[in-house]
């Protein structure tokens, strides 16, 4: 069995290879990490808020699949705002 390091205190909950990973952080937060891009690949991480946690509890991985697809199609909506230039 392959052992992978997901970062300090992170545990893999579920994954779709080369697509997304659902991780639980040490403090209990759930984080969805989505592979984005075409020529250059990068990851966008989304911390699931109360509304997303409720949808995940109700719908399971189907919700995560839909959220990952939305993140991939609109990554800018999920990235932190760029710092203001001076």
pLDDT of residue 86: 62
pLDDT of residue 54: 98
pLDDT of residue 52: 97
Expressed as residue numbers, the domain containing 33 is 11-77
pLDDT of residue 1: 47
Which pLDDT tens digits describe the chain residue by residue (86 residues)?
A: 456 778 888 999 999 999 999 999 999 999 999 999 988 999 999 999 999 999 999 999 999 999 999 999 999 999 888 787 76
Is there a domain that residue 38 lies in? yes
Cβ–Cβ under 8 Å, residues 41 and 35: yes
Coil, strand or helix at 84: coil
Structure tokens at 29: 């937060």
Is there a domain that residue 66 lies in? yes
Domains: count for the chain: 1
Cβ–Cβ under 8 Å, residues 64 and 20: yes
Query: What count of Cα atoms within 13 Å lies in the side-chain half-sphere of residue 16?
Result: 14
Coil, strand or helix at 7: coil
Distance CA 16, CA 23 (A): 12
Is there a domain that residue 6 lies in? no
Is there a domain that residue 86 lies in? no
pLDDT of residue 63: 98
């Amino acid at each position: 069995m392959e052992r992978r390091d997901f970062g300090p205190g992170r545990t893999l909950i579920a994954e779709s290879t080369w697509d997304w990973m659902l991780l639980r952080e040490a403090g209990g937060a759930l984080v969805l990490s989505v592979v984005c891009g075409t020529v250059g690949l990068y990851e966008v991480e989304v911390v699931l808020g109360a509304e997303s946690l409720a949808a995940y509890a109700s719908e399971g991985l189907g919700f995560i699949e839909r959220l990952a697809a939305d993140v991939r199609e609109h990554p800018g909506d999920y990235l932190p705002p760029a710092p203001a230039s001076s």
